[in-house]
Structure 1
Amino acid sequence: MTSKTMQTLNITTERLIIRNLKPADLNDFHIYRSNPEVTKYQGFDVMTIEQASQFIEEQKDKQFGNAGEWVQYAIENKETKKLVGDCAIKLDEHNTDIAEIGITISHLSQKNGYAREVLSGILDFLFNEINIHRVVETVDAENTASINLLKSVGFREEGHFIENIFFKGSWGSEFQYAMLKREWDSKHAATDSK
């Protein structure tokens, strides 16, 4: 197990910047975090403006690398400087060579390939810069858009949990997907050789 040092995260992709949330993000953040369609499959409910402000305040100075702690990051469009969503990374509490991730894209920015770009940027950071061994994501069994995204990037389905979570008033089922560093490296070696 490798020790991960605390650091401020700043990942840049072709169109996006993944960085700490800041108070100036509040309006963009609240627009999609208050939309029931966006929060439908998420572990959080719709937020009031006050809850969104408090959440940003709690997250804005967090650093990557504290085992067992989710850190939520802004996804900013480089061109417009507007928030298109947010993402989260957590190092496993017992083994910091394993990370869990999550992505939320605003309803105003969906179907532009941002989720895939963010996912690739996060994986590149975790596997190539931090040398993470394994990345996992748990997804609602009905969230076909997220399932298709994970599969398209090369994640493997590792588990199907039947009615394992009481979620927003009813029992829900989930899938767990995972990818290993060697699978990411192999996929990119095959792409680079074409």
Structure 2
Amino acid sequence: MPKVKIRPQELFDSKCFFDIITRTNLEFIEFPIKTLEEERYFLGLNEAKRKANFEYNFSVLYYGRLVGACGIKIDQHRPWIGEIGYFIDRDYQRIGTATEAVKQLEKIGFEQLDLHRIIILMDTRNLASERVAQKCGYKKRRYNGKSPPHRGRLLRLFPLCENQVMKKIVQGERKIRYVQKDARGENQTGWNQLKPA
């Protein structure tokens, strides 16, 4: 397994990120950044985003070398849900770098940010990202047999819940949603009341 670490992004990462963005074919990610100055400006916003509990962005390091980025965006209407995103330099793809970065992000999300659910949204054509999600235990979820539209593209939703169970607060009462398989192998779901701590 590659030696992968993630750390909060710093301003001095801007040149490396800009190089990765301009030389790697990231066809499934929309980047509004066109210049190095715009990249510096974007990285300068990270502290404010963290303080507002909006977004937590990290640099992905492979044996100490910056090879990509990843982050968690917090759902502002449901702050117990986070969305993971990532990109990796073309020279460091297909060696488990993104998979390990996602696993480290999950740990941060569940243990430090107190998330109860993490999702990955992606373009349906992005098969490499789909493999990363599946390796990390995410499952495809469809809406009425279709993926939800997003900016003119179809996306797949891969939810991962803490211990594969979604915790939710319902009308001031803590309840837990469970999913279990019945004798025929079909999922059965329901809600159980949690006992007060």
The answer, yes or no, to whether TM exceeds 0.5 is yes
Counterpart of 1:189?
A: none
Kindly indicate which of the two structures has a greater share of residues assigned to strand.
Answer: 2
2:147 paired residue among 129, 153, 161: 161
Give 1:182's aligned residue: 163
Using the TM superposition, give the Cα deviation of residue 20 of structure 1 relative to its aligned residue in structure 2, in angstroms. 2.2
Counterpart code for 1:43: E
C-alpha distance in 2, partners of 1:154/1:95? 22
Normalised TM-score (structure 1): 0.73
Q: Structure 1 residue 63: deviation in Å? A: 5.9
1:133-148 matches, within 5 Å, as: 133-148=116-131
Once the two structures are superposed, the pairs formed by residues 77-116 of structure 1 within 5 Å of their partners are 77=62, 79=63, 81-116=64-99
Consecutive unaligned residues of structure 1, counting only runs of 5 or more, are 1-12, 185-194
- Mapped partners of 1:180, 1:16: distance in 2: 23
Calculate percent identity across the aligned residue pairs: 20
Report how far residue 118 of structure 1 moved: 0.5
User: Using the alignment, how far apart are the partners of 2:37 and 2:105 within structure 1?
Assistant: 29
TM-score, normalised by the number of residues in structure 2: 0.72
Q: 1:63 to 1:165 in 2, by over 3 A?
A: closer
Aligned AA (1:53): R
Q: Deviations over 1:49-86 (max 9, x none)?
A: 22222212222x3464634x233221123x3x321101
Q: How does 1:1-194 map to 2 (within 5 A)?
A: 15-35=3-23, 37-38=25-26, 40-45=27-32, 47-59=34-46, 61-62=47-48, 64=50, 66-67=52-53, 69-77=54-62, 79=63, 81-159=64-142, 160-161=146-147, 164-166=149-151, 171-183=152-164
* Structure 2: 5+ residue stretches without partners: 166-197
| 141-150 vs 118-127, greater mean Cα deviation | 118-127
- 8 Å contact kept, 2:2–2:96: no
Q: Is the 8 A contact 1:20 1:74 kept in 2?
A: yes
Larger Rg, first or second structure (1 or 2) = 2
User: Could you tell me how far apart the structure 2 residues matched to 1:55 and 1:46 are?
Assistant: 8
> RMSD over aligned Cα, in angstroms?
2.4
For residues 92 and 157 of structure 2, the distance between their equivalents in structure 1, rounded to whole angstroms, comes to 26
Correspondence for 2:175: none
**Amino acid of the structure 2 residue aligned with 1:31:** D
Separation (CA, whole Å) in 1 of partners of 2:51 and 2:45: 16
Q: Cα deviation per residue 1:10-61 (whole Å; 9 max; x = unaligned)?
A: xxx97233222222212211111123612x10132563222222212222x3
Q: Which runs of 4+ in 1 moved over 3 A?
A: 62-67, 128-131
